[in-house]
Structure 1
């Protein structure tokens, strides 16, 4: 994707951004991309986070808070693609809304009317990427391999499209899914799933799943002396997955360049406010990462630097703590 981001804003617009949570390195990297661009442009940025995908009411209250704060634009990482059907305009009034990262149901008339532009990758394609990687390694007739599929929470985020993309990609290969296990993206819950998996005694060749499952799998395989027998594939990138790729402990992860997506959302908002040309639907190219292919520019577009801490306010080119 060739895109020229703005280098400055004509005035310190008030941009209010609402995230589902800031509990993992994915949304921390989103925060980083947005905060850096706000500092560069000189706009005012307020960040609110709902504390998790089940917290729809809290997120709705936060959108009202953006309105009361006097936001010129709202950037919404929704907790649920359909939750705002028929009600978005009641929360936002006349303020333009920019959907970021998570899909929102633009077939709903009220949502369609209020979403000015969006940035996001189809999570079906993230699952598909992981599936294609494995299907290429194990084509039909090469010998059946058993995998456990641990995509994350069953209800929220992109796990359903990820699962569909993965299943579609492996259906004509020798990949045999022997177990599908759902749980929220906490290390403890994902660790429990992997321990149950080992306790079942089933023969396994791969653990494939979300970044949290992939990260936890590294230490669980090591402590159970299975690192040489079972390989790990992740459906998205995190700091822990990146470390795993660098050390050869994880074979593959796609990245949707979340820091870049956040920068693009802020850029869309400022372009709209300044009546500049705007692309209304932006989607970075999904990159395949392996231990031997970790391009520096792709990692920089994806992950926050190690020293970055969550930031909730940018004013006059600086983070306010």
Structure 2
């Protein structure tokens, strides 16, 4: 998707107005659920709070809204296919539910000020019933979430974890566990041989990137064979703009100390760039394999070609649809943690070049002709 589509605006505003279906066909998703009271003093980054009971594996079903609620949604950006897929998840499910959505994007993970202003701005709108927040930062948004919730507007976290003692509910994965799953795959794929690994995490201030790295590192060293040597330099952090990731790849992989790398573990933007890097520098890394820490449209195509060997499916569309469902249930009068889970995580599979044929494009990313809207739009 060309960046020029988004150049006209930092703040995407998208309003969906649809009539509730008379008879809603409930979608069913298998999820891991956590119930109880959310206590941040028992919260460890990368994990649900220990105050919550779970996980309980159960089937999530779509509710019916009592009215056509208007829900605000905040994304970090729409610069890569991951967030475009999330955009599709929100739009398509809002249409099915019959709720209205206004969506803003901050422009980048570094644009904390934009997202803060968008959060507070949405809260001031008289027609907004609740806000779904994919935060650009783990803890800096806490006091602003508190202000919005105390003003009477509930806030639910989506995709990116947030500390926020006042957050009403969460629909997101433990990125530590996602990283651990990637580490399990690499450990098994290595067959116990000595390996050199380079890790390109993503934005340092975004909770998901450091959590994935910590989970991956834990798995790699826990599962290593007694006589297996693992060379693992410090991870490379950086915003997920392609040019930034190109520079990170070049800086780390062109260092002679890192020649002969066996596994390049990357955020999806870096993984796609790493394919091109290896085409030009394969002599320095003749055995290198690329693993993405999540799947996007670009990664899907590379998996089919075999240039990337694996990536977990983070169930992005499911996360977005469940987050909307959670907000509907909350606005319907149900209590998070009691009537429905406080924290929900879809169950994720590992997609590999060997099993990629089992996953259709539409199931992973939605309709191929979908284009994010950059102006007011009504169904």
TM class, shorter-length: 0.7 to 0.9
Task: Look up the match of 1:213.
Answer: 270
Larger deviation, residues 175-184 vs 71-80:
175-184
Tell whether 2:154 aligns with 1:96.
yes
Task: Look up the match of 2:101.
Answer: 45
Give the secondary-structure state (helix, strand or coil) at the position aligned to 1:309: coil
After the TM superposition, which residues 1-321 of structure 1 pair with which residues of structure 2 at under 5 Å, given as runs? 1=30, 2-6=59-63, 8-70=64-126, 71-92=128-149, 93-106=151-164, 108=165, 111=166, 115-139=167-191, 142-172=192-222, 173=224, 174=228, 175-178=230-233, 180-201=235-256, 202-226=259-283, 229-275=287-333, 277-294=339-356, 300-311=362-373, 318=379
* Aligned partners of 2:260 and 2:286 also within 8 Å: no
* Aligned partners of 2:138 and 2:206 also within 8 Å: no
Q: Could you tell me how far apart the structure 2 residues matched to 1:299 and 1:40 are?
A: 20
| Offset of residue 232 of structure 1 | 0.5
TM-score normalised according to structure 2 size: 0.75
Q: Residues 54 and 247 of structure 1: is their aligned pair in 2 closer, same or farther, counting only changes over 3 Å? A: same
Q: Could you tell me how far apart the structure 2 residues matched to 1:248 and 1:182 are?
A: 26
| Offset of residue 262 of structure 1 | 0.5
| Offset of residue 24 of structure 1 | 1.6
Count of residue pairs brought into register by the alignment = 308
| Offset of residue 67 of structure 1 | 1.9
Q: Residues 155 and 87 of structure 1: is their aligned pair in 2 closer, same or farther, counting only changes over 3 Å? A: closer
| Offset of residue 161 of structure 1 | 0.9
* Aligned partners of 1:18 and 1:48 also within 8 Å: yes
Q: Could you tell me how far apart the structure 2 residues matched to 1:300 and 1:257 are?
A: 12
* Aligned partners of 1:135 and 1:170 also within 8 Å: yes
Q: Could you tell me how far apart the structure 1 residues matched to 2:359 and 2:190 are?
A: 30
Q: Could you tell me how far apart the structure 1 residues matched to 2:221 and 2:86 are?
A: 33
Q: Residues 200 and 81 of structure 1: is their aligned pair in 2 closer, same or farther, counting only changes over 3 Å? A: closer
The alignment yields a C-alpha RMSD, in angstroms, of 2.3
**Which consecutive residues of structure 2, in runs of 5 or more, have no partner in the other structure?**
1-29, 31-58
* Aligned partners of 2:130 and 2:153 also within 8 Å: yes
Larger deviation, residues 244-253 vs 216-225:
216-225
Q: Could you tell me how far apart the structure 2 residues matched to 1:192 and 1:180 are?
A: 14
Q: Residues 295 and 145 of structure 1: is their aligned pair in 2 closer, same or farther, counting only changes over 3 Å? A: same
Larger deviation, residues 178-187 vs 167-176:
178-187
TM-score normalised according to structure 1 size: 0.88
Q: Could you tell me how far apart the structure 1 residues matched to 2:360 and 2:214 are?
A: 26
Deviations 1:120-166 (A, max 9, x none): 00000111111111111235xx3311121111222224111111101
Larger deviation, residues 158-167 vs 228-237:
228-237
**Which consecutive residues of structure 1, in runs of 5 or more, have no partner in the other structure?**
none
Q: Could you tell me how far apart the structure 1 residues matched to 2:135 and 2:265 are?
A: 26
| Offset of residue 266 of structure 1 | 0.7
| Offset of residue 312 of structure 1 | 6.1
| Offset of residue 186 of structure 1 | 1.6
Q: Could you tell me how far apart the structure 2 residues matched to 1:314 and 1:56 are?
A: 24
Q: Could you tell me how far apart the structure 2 residues matched to 1:312 and 1:296 are?
A: 33
